[in-house]
Structure 1
Amino acid sequence: MTTDTPSLIRRGMTFLAGHRRAIARLTAWSTVEAAHTFAMGYALAKALDSGFLAGRPGEGLGWLGLAALAVVVGAFGTGRTYRGVAALVEPLRDRLVGRVVTRALREADGAAVSRLTHQVEIARDTFAGLVMVSRSFVFTAAGALVGLCLLAPVLLVVVVPPLVLGLGLFLATLRPLARRQETFLATDEAIAQSLGEVSGGLRDITAGGAERYVREETGALVDAEFRASLALARWSVLRVVALAVAGRLPLVLLLVTTPWLLDRGVTPGALVGALAYLTQSLLPALQDLVHGLGASGSRLAVVIRRLTDGPPLPPPPAVEWAPPESAPAAVELRGVTFSYGEHAEPVLRDLDLVVPVGGRLAVVGPSGVGKSTLAGLVAGLLEPGSGEVRVAGGRAGRVLIPQEAYVFSGTLADNLGYLRPDGVPDHELRAAADVLAMTELVDRLGGFGAPVTPTELSAGERQRIALARAYLAPARIAVLDEATCHLDAEAEARVESAFARRTEGTLIVIAHRMGSARRADRVLVMDGARTVLGTHEELLGESELYRDLTAVVRPDRLGSTP
């Protein structure tokens, strides 16, 4: 990964151009703040040469008093600079928050939480730190160099070359640091997105037996972030070298060349003033610049680019399972698009899907991806934003069994025959109980005429009753929205087979276990608004997400280190 430096510079200049007044105020108060930098070394030199060493202690104290006054003035200026910094930082933060929210709504940005709660705050804090340390170094260095020049121009010969060399070395490390910082942030973002998906899909992971695969994938991301942090740390060592060259070496050279400087007319006071400039002004400003710009500058460049850039999502391919001419369509979706809100990213986009009469479709995908939305559209509970949903037999031809089964107080026969206006004969009740493996439940409750108390039933028992009610309904299209999640795998397979064997029975299963996908004629894999349709064998070769859900590892991954 690389940072687009010219583009970032253009954006930065555009942003700063829109805040000229804030920059002007910040410059003015920074100049006031720098007064104590200049006065410290210069006043100290004059206090020694013209005062104490010349036998005039009063004049020496006067110069020291002037230095103390400059410190008070500089502190006043420092306090006012924070307002100027806030006038630059807060508009940047507001702009970035707006960008992240817009991107999350329009592009279904899976890393929006990391961007909004972590990266925007990184940008805000680092930009503030960058402005403060850069401004402080520029004005401090200017005050110190002007003071050195006024004391003795030859002092610049000793101080400036190592200062420039160290700064050059430091600036040369910024781009490599930025690249490694971007790698680190990218892995952190990937971990945040991965953990969000894992946390929301724990049930799917457990049901599909994908614990080991998910553990390996997440562990690989953690290892990648660890490697990125090590690379970042290694390059950060060069900052220490740059600081030593720019800040410590001038001090050593000044001490080593003291005899040479004295021979060229540099006074003892000027030497002491130069030492004060180096130790009390330049070195602290350099430390702040190197540590601040080295960390904040590279992080800011990376974060700004990641928050403001981002290619648009590719349009999803349409999918269609067309029935043969001899098998009419039971469910047909044409160009269906649906989203929860005007500016929200569509859950389904331009979906074409045909499920033939007698067909068996399994719908799989991570939790929260829109599987239940598709079930609601087929069942008529939701209306598409655009496109058309056609169901053979209209509303009476379909029945939806949700995950949370509804059982009401009354007899068991009342519950099972609720969708049959003319009632259900006893022999049909017994046949349904037998085929759905709920005879034991019927016997325990005391027969079909026994009263049912919903609170005394387990979640699995309530699901069995709801499934039997749908099985006995006249509707030939059954939509099971994780309706067997509280049953064991064997019972789930028996229920799905019973619905599929009904005369002209069409079954759409929002899969809880991947066994449903293996038993289906076709499988619809949902990955946001992107969908893929195929058989189990076809999807193993074509869909990375489907392989993830089924915990199938490709041959080229066998034996690889996470």
Structure 2
Amino acid sequence: MTVYRRGLRFLRARRRAVAALAAWSVVEAGQTFLVGYALARALDEGFLAGRARTGLGWLGVGALAVVVGAYGTRRVYGCVAALVEPLRDQLVRHVVARGVREGDGGALSGLTQQVEIARDTFAGLVMVSRSFLFTAAGALIGLCSLDPLLLLVVAPPLAAGVALFALTLRPLARRQEAFLVADEEIAAHLGGICPALRDITAAGAEALVTADAGARIGVELRAARSLARRGVLRVACLAVGGQLPLVLLLATAPGLLAHGVTPGALVGALAYVTQSLLPALQNLVHGLGTSGSRLEVVLRRLTPDPPPAAAGPAVTRQAAGPTAGGPARPAAQPRPLGVPVCADHPPARGPALSVSALTFAYGPGAVPVIENLDLRVPRGAHLAVVGPSGIGKSTLVALVAGLLEPTSGTIRVLGQPVRGRAAHGRTARGGSARIQPVRGPTACGQRVLIPQEAYVVTGTLAENLGQLRPRPVPEAELRAAAEAVGLGRLMERLGGPAAEVDPRALSAGERQLIALTRAYLSYAPLALLDEATCHLDPEAEERAERAFAARPGGTLVVVAHRISSARRAARVLVLDGRRALLGDHDELVERSPLYRELTGSWSRADSKPALAPRDPDRVDPVAGPGLAGDRRHVVAHGPVGQMQAARDLGDGGTRGREG
């Protein structure tokens, strides 16, 4: 049922109020008729004939008509209220019922804003439409009573202006609705972007979000321009229907006077056009042209059409438990997971990671952090990257992930070149939030980065874990991945994959487990862990690293912060300034003094955190003692890599930065 049919049914149900409104509108319109007619008679039969008393008498009749019209206008407002308030009450009942029945989140907005918009707009439309109808009728009857020739001059252009406005009303309404819809879409889009600015930046999705917002703004701009062009037609309608009759009366005045039209009748006709018809037409064009389409949009949203009844039986989601009257189906057993297969993934060629003559410096005049590095990591390998704090471990991982642009040299992942910042948006980041559904190259990314700061978004656990997959992940696969990485106990405590997750209620370690499982479920064969387990205890860290290392076809690169991580890796890369050394643990203990120093400092202290996570000072210790040159360092709940010596926490000492 359309809005128009509902409106007609609403008016038919209130015939008495409509009839009273029409009756008092006739009383109000009486002044329109008498103002021009009395003025003409005052001139012709009074002042021009030398009878001043007669002229004053007719002017008194016109003044009395204004008083009577004012009383009619007062009663008109009461009749309009008798139509408007029932509409408001009906809309309020409908919105409240829908909000209770369907849990409509927009019920509050409907009650506080949209219902009032509908009420005020409907009242304005009733007043404008009624005023034009009765004012035009009174003026035309007055013109005909003065002289039919005057009606022949005024009526045709007035009818043409109204007809032109009627023809443009529906296209104008469509463009008005398109503009309103575009404006609301922008508001809704920005409402989703603003709370997620940190996640957008972390996901490297600035360009994508900017382009999407720009496209929506472009749609609104085009709708606004189209609406403005249609708005020019309002001026044409007013010119034809309101201004042209005035010009014709003045242009044909000599001829009209020659054909017996009296001067008083001509002045009365001018009064009808300037004081009655033109203002009424202006109110109609501006009021109905703008508010009419807005009222239609609001009413459609407040009273949506009920969904059509299904032709066949309703399809319901199958319950997880046993069905009544039948045996329970055996639950699907979690299967061991490898790297999920993406149908759109390009064929892998070459080693998992190949670095050739790689050099990087933070600025043209800066000392290179990495210089002429050559590295080859075969597919399925497990590599640990170690070195003092600030030596360039995180920088190397960021270069491989495509977050930084190399100064020189090449990086290839599975034979495909990494293109620095240009590839930023195509790199799946397991620790950050994905803003939109992943498709295309992103869904089949060849590498996934899990940084130290793990991002979790508000939503279900399944939504968080499946962010790097193009389609929802089956529950059995979710549970198997959670069990492999070590998230299973937390998943059960939260209530399963469908449970809602509040990021603020999770500890730093729990967020890291979610980020690790998200990356584990991705299509990326190369996983980059940049201290992604620093908030986990050694046992949980070992379980997660072994799960990634055991993925068939998967390759793991870990920035190690415990000696156990380096021992588990088949190969270890030691970064020492501009030099690098590659080998297994035993080889490096023999060949690298720096590695011996690092492993010695790691081994002398307990690897477990010295403080309880999330202590009152909002500081988490790095799990394990500090590396060489930065012993006993802790990391605050801040950006990745912000560090501070334990002895400096109370005296405002400076912070270093992890490379």
Instruction: Tell me what 1:193 maps to.
Output: 188
- Partner residue of 1:60? 55
Q: Structure 1 residue 269: deviation in Å?
A: 1.0
User: 1:51, 1:60 within 8 Å by CA — same for their partners in 2?
Assistant: yes
- SS of structure 2 residue aligned to 1:266: coil
Structure 2 residue aligned with 1:33, among 12, 21, 28? 28
Contact 1:460-1:487 within 8 A present in 2 as well: no
1:145 positional shift: 1.2
Written as runs of structure 1 = structure 2, the 5 A alignment for 1:149-548 is 149-309=144-304, 333=320, 356=334, 370-371=459-460, 398-400=492-494, 403-404=503-504, 431-432=538-539, 435=542, 455-458=615-618
Contact 2:38 2:59 in 1 (8 A): yes
Distance 2:189 2:603 in 1: 47
Match of 1:143 in 2: 138
TM-fit CA distance, 1:30: 1.5
Deviation readout 1:489-528 (Å, 9 max, x if unpaired): 89xxxxxxxxxxxxxxxxxxxxxxxxxxxxxxxxxxxxxx
**Cα distance in 2 between the residues matched to 1:353 and 1:179:** 53
Question: Residue 11 of structure 2 aligns with which residue?
Answer: 16
Residues 111, 192 of structure 1: 8 Å contact kept: no
How far residue 148 of structure 1 moved from its aligned partner, in angstroms, is 1.3
Letter in 2 for 1:198: I
Deviations 1:24-45 (A, max 9, x none): 2322222221121111111111
Q: Structure 1 pair 447/179, CA: closer, same or farther in 2 (3 Å)?
A: closer
Contact 1:34 1:143 in 2 (8 A): yes
Q: Which amino acid aligns with 1:133?
A: V
Moved more, 145-154 or 173-182: 145-154
Question: 1:327-362 CA deviation, whole Å, 9 max, x = no partner?
Answer: xxxxx95599xxxxxxxxxxxxxxx99672767999
The verdict on how the C-alpha distance between 1:354 and 1:229 changes in structure 2, with shifts beyond 3 A counting, is farther
Q: Which string of whole-angstrom CA distances, capped at 9 and with x for unpartnered residues, describes residues 373-406 of structure 1?
A: 999xxxxxxxxxxxxxx999x9999444974468
**Corresponding residue of 1:472:** none
User: In proportion to residue count, which structure has more helix?
Assistant: 1
State the secondary structure of the residue aligned to 1:301: helix
Q: Distance in 2 between matches of 1:449 and 1:195?
A: 41
For 1:109-148, list aligned pairs within 5 A.
119-148=114-143
The DSSP-based 3-state class of the residue aligned with 2:2 is: helix
Paired residues of 1:133 and 1:293 also in contact (CA < 8 A): yes
Please give the per-residue CA displacement for 1:48-98, whole angstroms capped at 9, x wherever unaligned: 111111111111111111111211221222122222222222333343455
SS of residue paired to 1:74:
helix
Larger Rg: 2
Moved more, 354-363 or 223-232: 354-363
Deviation of 1:293 after TM superposition, in Å, equals 1.3
Q: Tell me if the contact between 1:333 and 1:354 (Cα under 8 Å) persists in the aligned partners.
A: no
How far has the Cα of 1:115 moved from its partner? 6.1
Query: Residues 335 and 28 of structure 1: is their aligned pair in 2 closer, same or farther, counting only changes over 3 Å?
Result: farther
Q: Distance in 1 between matches of 2:49 and 2:180?
A: 61
Matches within 5 A, 1:88-107: 88-100=83-95
The amino acid that maps onto 2:127 is M
**Structure 1's 158 and 292: CA in aligned 2 closer, same or farther, altered over 3 A?**
same
The answer for the alignment partner of 2:568 in structure 1 is: none
Q: How far apart, in 2, do the equivalents of 1:430 and 1:372 lie? A: 22
| TM-score where L is the length of structure 1 | 0.60
Cα distance in 1, alignment partners of residues 33 and 617 from structure 2? 84
Unaligned segments of structure 2, at least 5 residues: 324-329, 341-429, 436-455, 465-478, 495-500, 508-535, 545-559, 564-601, 625-635, 642-659
RMSD: 4.7
Alpha-carbon distance between aligned partners in 2 of 1:430 and 1:137, rounded to the nearest angstrom: 79
> Structure 1 residue 310: deviation in Å?
5.7
Structure 1: unaligned runs, 5 residues or longer = 1-5, 320-331, 337-351, 376-389, 408-428, 466-484, 491-562
User: C-alpha separation between the residues in 2 aligned to 1:395 and 1:227?
Assistant: 53
Deviates more, 1:166-175 or 1:354-363: 354-363
Q: 1:249 to 1:433 in 2, by over 3 A?
A: closer
Aligned to 1:76: 71
Do the aligned partners of residues 122 and 449 (structure 1) sit closer, same or farther apart at CA in structure 2, a change above 3 Å counting? closer
SS in 1 for 2:50: coil
Contact 1:114 1:189 in 2 (8 A): no
TM-score normalised by the chain length of structure 2:
0.52
Partner amino acid, structure 1, of 2:154? V
Any conservation in 2 of the 1:145–1:156 contact (CA below 8 Å)?
Answer: yes
Cα-to-partner distance string for 1:183-233 (whole Å, 9 max, x where unaligned) = 112212222222222234444433433222122112211110111011011
- Aligned to 1:265, the other structure's residue is in SS state coil
Distance 1:143 1:448 in 2: 93
User: 2 CA distance for matches of 1:253 and 1:224?
Assistant: 43
- How far apart are residue 264 of structure 1 and its match? 2.7
Deviation of the 1:133 alpha carbon: 0.9
User: What does the per-residue CA deviation read over 1:404-437, in whole Å, with 9 as the maximum and x for residues that have no partner?
Assistant: 4689xxxxxxxxxxxxxxxxxxxxx984387488
Q: Which has the higher contact order (CA 8 A, sep 6+)?
A: 1
Residues 81 and 458 of structure 1: CA distance in aligned 2, closer, same or farther (over 3 Å): same
